[in-house]
C-alpha cells in the first residue's frame, strides 16, 4: 500500500518506519522536505521511503496518516489539499494539546467537540479513523508489554475504513477495540491525557492500555 505521512515529528517517523518495515511504500510530506531530519529519516527507513511536500504525499498515497501538532493541522490539511485525500482513509493520530499554561498540557477542545470531528469536517470527503493517539511513539510499532499486546482504541464513521485500519494495526502488533463513530474521539482524546499525565508523573513512556474481559 502507498502511505502518506503528513507530519515529520516522532509519531510520523515511528509510524513511517513501521510501514516501510512491513513492505509499504511511504512518502513523508512536510512544508520543507529538504530538512536534515527528513533526509536522515529517509536514509534510515530505506528504499521504500521517500519525502516530498504535503501536497505530494497526499497525492501519492492510498492511505494518509495525519500526525502534525494540533495548532498546525488545519494549515497542513490545506497545504496537502483536501481534494488529494478525497475518498481516502486518513488515520488521525492527533491530540488537541494546549501548552499555553506550560506542562503538562491540557486539552484545547473537549466534551462536545474533538480534534477528530474537526478533522473529519476539514476532510469532509475523506474517511477519517482515529488511532495511535493513546500511546507514545516508541511503542507504536510492535508494542511489547507483559501480558500480551495492549489495545488500540479506534473510532470513525466508515466501517470499511475501520476494518482496513484494524488490519494495519494488527500487522503493527496491536489488538483493536472499535468504540464507534468519529464523535467518540471526544473520549479517546481525554484517554490520551491519562497516558500523558502518567508520563509526566513517572517520566517514562513504557505504559499502554488494555481492556480486560471476563466471561459472562
The confidence band for 206, taking pLDDT boundaries of 50, 70 and 90, is very high
Q: What is the pLDDT of residue 94?
A: 98
- Which range, of 60-69, 104-113, 172-181, averages the lowest pLDDT? 104-113
Q: Determine the average pLDDT of the residues in 140-147.
A: 96
| Residue 79: how many other CB atoms lie within 10 Å | 16
**What pLDDT, on a 0 to 100 scale, did the predictor assign at position 169?**
98
- As a whole number, mean pLDDT of residues 36-48 equals 96
Whole-number pLDDT of residue 141:
98
Q: What is the mean pLDDT of the chain?
A: 97
Confidence band, pLDDT 50/70/90 cuts, at residue 19: very high
- The neighbouring-strand residues paired with 89 are 63, 127
Cell of 31: 512544508
Higher pLDDT, 111 or 210: 210
State the Cα–Cα distance between residues 202 and 182, nearest whole angstrom.
31
SS3 for the chain is CEEEEECCCHHHHHHHHHHHHCCCEEEEEECCCCCHHHHHHHHHHCCCEEEEEHHHHHHHCCEEEECCCHHHHHHHHHHHCHHHHCCCEEEECCCCEECCCCCCCEECCCCCCCHHHHHHHHCCCCEEEECCCCCCHHHCCCCCCCCCCCEEEEEECCHHHHHHHHHHHHHCCCEEEECCCHHHHHHHHHHHHHHHHHHHHHCCCCCCCCCCCCCC
Cell representation of residue 90: 486518513
First to last CA, the chain: 40
The pLDDT score that the predictor gives to residue 84 is: 98
Please state, in angstroms and rounded to a whole number, the distance separating the CA atoms of residues 79 and 7. 12
- In terms of pTM, does the model score above 0.85? yes
What pLDDT does 156 receive?
98
| Banded model confidence at residue 148, pLDDT cuts 50, 70, 90 | confident
Query: Between the CA of residue 209 and those of 14, 28, 48, 162, 175, what are the distances in Å?
Result: 19, 28, 31, 19, 10
- The answer to whether the beta carbons of residues 96 and 74 sit under 8 Å apart is no
Structure confidence at residue 98 as a pLDDT band (50, 70, 90) = very high
Nearest-10 Cα torsion for 112, 88, 157, 76: -10
Amino acid at each position: 500500500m502507498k502511505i502518506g505521512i503528513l507530519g515529520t515529528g516522532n509519531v510520523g517517523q515511528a509510524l513511517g518506519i513501521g510501514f516501510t518495515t512491513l513492505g509499504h511504500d511511504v512518502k513523508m510530506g512536510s512544508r520543507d522536505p529538504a530538512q536534515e531530519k527528513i533526509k536522515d529519516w529517509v536514509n534510515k527507513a530505506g528504499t521504500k521511503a521517500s519525502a516530498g511536500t504535503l501536497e505530494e504525499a497526499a497525492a501519492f498515497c492510498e492511505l494518509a496518516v495525519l500526525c502534525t501538532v494540533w495548532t498546525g493541522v488545519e494549515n497542513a490539511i490545506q497545504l496537502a489539499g483536501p481534494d488529494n485525500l478525497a475518498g481516502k482513509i486518513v488515520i488521525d493520530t492527533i491530540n488537541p494539546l494546549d501548552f499555553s499554561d506550560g506542562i503538562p498540557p491540557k486539552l484545547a477542545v473537549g466534551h462536545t467537540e474533538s480534534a477528530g470531528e474537526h478533522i473529519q469536517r476539514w476532510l469532509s470527503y475523506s474517511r477519517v479513523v482515529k488511532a495511535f493517539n493513546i500511546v507514545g511513539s516508541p511503542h507504536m510499532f510492535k508494542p511489547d508489554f507483559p501480558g500480551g499486546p495492549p489495545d488500540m482504541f479506534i473510532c470513525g464513521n466508515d466501517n470499511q475504513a475501520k476494518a482496513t485500519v484494524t488490519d494495519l494495526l494488527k500487522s503493527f502488533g496491536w489488538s483493536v477495540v472499535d468504540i464507534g463513530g468519529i464523535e467518540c474521539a471526544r473520549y479517546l482524546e481525554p484517554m490520551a491525557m491519562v497516558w500523558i499525565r502518567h508520563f509526566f508523573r513517572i517520566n517514562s513512556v513504557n505504559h499502554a492500555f488494555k481492556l480486560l474481559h471476563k466471561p459472562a
